[in-house]
Amino acid sequence: MRHQGANGRDNWSRPIKAGVKTSPADSRANNRSMTLSELYHRGPLSRADLARATGLTHVSVSQVVAELIAAGLVVERGQAETRGVGKPATLLAVNDSGRAFAAIDLSGADTVAGAVFDLRGNITERMSMRLGGAVDTAAAELVCEFAAALVEAARAPMEGLAVAAPGIVTADGVVRAGAYFGWKNLPLADKLAARTGVPCLVENDARIAALAESARGVDGGLMLVLVAKGLGAGLVLEGDLLRGPSGAAGDIGHVTAVEDGPRCRCGRRGCLETVLSAAVLEGLSRLPPGPGRRAAVESTAHATAAVLAAAIATLDLRRLVFFNRDNLLAPDLLDAIRQSMTARLLPFTTHNLVIRASTAGPDTMLQGAYAHALSERLGITPWASPRP
């Protein structure tokens, strides 16, 4: 019996987590995951190569490879070069066109972006749609229609759909609070799975952006701060995405940063979102150099550091990355944040801390969603190669 994935669908490969009691089915899924990961990162490889790399017996490798070939996930790619006698080994590789993944980005507020990826992460189809100000159930229905069209456009069997959504999102894809669309306790993953017929994963947009940033290589813990209409953070610690038991990890936008500060859309005053958001960055971009701009930049930097410094010290983070899709994070603002952070933390904490703007491109959310689906569905982590 194969693993059940999101929304009750089968999952071909799910890595075993340390300390978790496993069944024979778990072991088989883990073997498939290890084999696929080795081929994804280092293929083409022979069966003997896979046995050495994974520690599995030759019999086990042959069984796993047979399953993966039958499923269309692995293909034979000619024969290895040999200088000795005997039959040369057959090389195996991941079948890049053997599966498709759909990714949807809801972080653009009124615009939905989507893409279909092949197994290797190449985009094969793109789609976009304006929501026209739709909210609540109307917005959810439009997103479901968009997802169905995206899945229909796939050129290969669809392995899974992943969605980057603003708001507080639980591990089972329920949007507990989504300010953009007015969603409350919306089982979005279940709705999308029912409409499309494929497994669906829904994750917070800042966490998805953090996954995409991780693909670029990160030493130590990472916090990515997504500066959009709202504000949120994604945390990657030792290669794992931090969600929290209620899905609210990284919900920093409504932490009080300025006592008796500006009124926030949540009804409270002085939330970090009121002093650091896309709208604030747009305002700063219009200020000419001079005392007025300097004061505004320092005020934003001070409030930002006041909220984030404790997390940096508590989690011993090594990367603090700010992401804004319009590239409005000015160098003087980042410099001011560095200075304010340095003033709040011990030198030992800030010595290896890198604070910068993300250099990721416009497809960051879509790429992160693909990476999330690839990891959850097939057990392949695209940004971390397996053991040497």
Could you give the CA distance from residue 365 to residue 47 in angstroms, rounded to a whole number?
A: 36
Could you give the CA distance from residue 167 to residue 383 in angstroms, rounded to a whole number?
A: 25
Domain ranges of the chain: 3-95, 100-209+364-376, 217-357
Q: How far is CA 173 from the centre of its chain?
A: 14
Best CA proximity match to 78, nearest among 39, 45, 31, 119: 45
- At the top level of CATH, the class of 217-357 is alpha beta
Residue 27 is predicted with a pLDDT of: 85
Best CA proximity match to 337, nearest among 309, 311, 363: 309
- Specify the CATH number for 100-209+364-376; select among 3.30.420.40, 3.90.76.10, 3.20.20.100, 1.10.357.10: 3.30.420.40
Residue 65 is predicted with a pLDDT of: 96
Same CATH topology for 3-95 and 217-357?
no
Q: For 276-329, how does the pLDDT look when each residue is reduced to its tens digit (9 = 90+)?
A: 999 999 999 999 999 999 999 999 999 999 999 999 999 999 999 999 988 899
Q: For 218-254, how does the pLDDT look when each residue is reduced to its tens digit (9 = 90+)?
A: 667 899 999 988 899 999 988 788 888 888 899 999 9
pTM: 0.87
Best CA proximity match to 357, nearest among 317, 315, 326, 316: 326
Sheet holding 90-94, edge to edge: 45-46, 90-94, 74-79
Could you give the CA distance from residue 301 to residue 263 in angstroms, rounded to a whole number?
A: 19
Could you give the CA distance from residue 373 to residue 376 in angstroms, rounded to a whole number?
A: 5
Residue 9 is predicted with a pLDDT of: 43
Residue 361 is predicted with a pLDDT of: 83
Q: How many Cβ atoms from other residues are within 10 Å of residue 325's Cβ?
A: 19
Q: 84: helix, coil or strand?
A: coil
Q: How many Cβ atoms from other residues are within 10 Å of residue 117's Cβ?
A: 26
Q: Which residues of the chain have pLDDT under 50?
A: 1-9, 15-21, 385-388
Residue 11 is predicted with a pLDDT of: 54
Contacts of 87 (CB under 8 A, 6+ apart): none
Q: What are residue 332's phi and psi, to 5 degrees?
A: -70, -30
CATH of the domain spanning 3-95: 1.10.10.10
